[in-house]
Amino acid sequence: MKAALLGHGTIGVGVDRIVKEIPGIEIVRVLALETDEEIIGRHTFSADDILGDPEIDTVIEVMGGIHPAWEFISRAMEAGKHVVTANKAVVAAYYRELLALQKKHGVAFRCTAAVGGGIPWLVNLSREKQGDRITKIGGIMNGTTNYILSRMDLEGIAFSDALLDAQKLGYAEKDPSADIDGDDVRRKLSISASVAYDCFVDEQMIPTAGIRSVLPEDLRAAREKGCVLKLAAFSERLEAGISACVAPFFVPRERLLASVPANVNLISLTAEHAGELCFSGQGAGRYPTAKNVVLDLLDIVSGVRCFYTEAAAPAAVDNGSTPTAWYFRTVSEDFPEDLVSERSGSSAVTKPLSVLEAFRLLDELRKKDPAVFMAGILS
């Protein structure tokens, strides 16, 4: 395999170094904004030097972002090159188009590192559904927010301090919005649900709430109920479509999900015959993520050409069922009292509401209180 790297940042450097130890795979060109001693002689500032080179059979995209990553990936596949990416943003945004290109041009398209970092989640999800029917998926899919909430819970520190430490450790970007607002998890859930249920789940249809406005008192409220606060994603197959959401949740301490520490991820699937299966590990980081990129390359070398699913028909998102209680903290005086089951100062616990009803209430409260915080309460 003669491969090229698009991007030589954290993940790209990791891939480059691991590949050097593997016979049969050679990274011959590297697209990067600047050069360094590791890529002297292979470096280029122009993607055309890679996409127009017939000797390069595989392109590894680790630039991040949607543009120009999408344009480079699509051009590579149209040129008959295999593609491996760790970019969940571009996969979620162009999921159907990428599957269509893969089929049309008969090339491989793999993105195992896009969901779960170093966890082999998508390959096992794909394998499991071959002989079973997956009914639910979910869990902790973002190590940055789990690290922040864990520090706040265990040490009582403020959100801003925990976020700053996460940035110093390399868990959070300089602009942490995608993590703390839940966008990163939403994209991962969109990809995972699409693979699990053999359909296409539009990420824009998944209601999402993050932890930007979380306060220590919210974690105390969770502890008082025997719970731990976690940002989690959940999806379930329904008769008329699927349910899916991303939000903070009060998770009972006896649940495995409550014990997930620091920046670790834990993603689970529930299948009709196998029951619940859990996959845990480093959800980010240079070498865990790069390792999954390299495993995708090795799959291609061994002859794998298929994606994790062949179906991508749009699926309706139905969040009108499966009610649960929800915790709200808000200074708004417009909280509907007929929905309250418990009240304490500026916080309230609702009577059972569906995800659809809870997010509608959140949207209404945000009009007067942008710092409102909401969390589901799991039983």
| Cβ neighbours, 10 Å, residue 28 | 15
- Distance between CA 183 and CA 189 in Å, rounded? 10
User: Is residue 141 a contact partner of residue 265, using CB atoms and an 8 Å limit?
Assistant: yes
Q: Which residue has the tokens 């794998």?
A: 304
27 vs 291: CA distance, rounded Å = 15
Handedness of CA 162, 167, 169, 173 (dihedral sign): positive
Question: Residue 321, Cα to own-chain centre: how many angstroms?
Answer: 24
Q: What is the largest CA-CA distance in the chain?
A: 69
Query: CA nearest 185: which of 243, 240, 117, 83?
Result: 117
Q: How many CA atoms lie within 13 A of 226 on its CB side?
A: 6
Please tell me which residue in 81, 88, 129, 188 is annotated as part of the active site: 188
- Does residue 188 have an active-site annotation? yes
How far is Cα 83 from Cα 348, in angstroms, rounded to an integer?
A: 49
3-class SS of residue 69: helix
Residue appearing with tokens 């509401």: 353
Dihedral of alpha carbons 168, 92, 271, 236, sign: positive
Which residues are known to be catalytic? 188
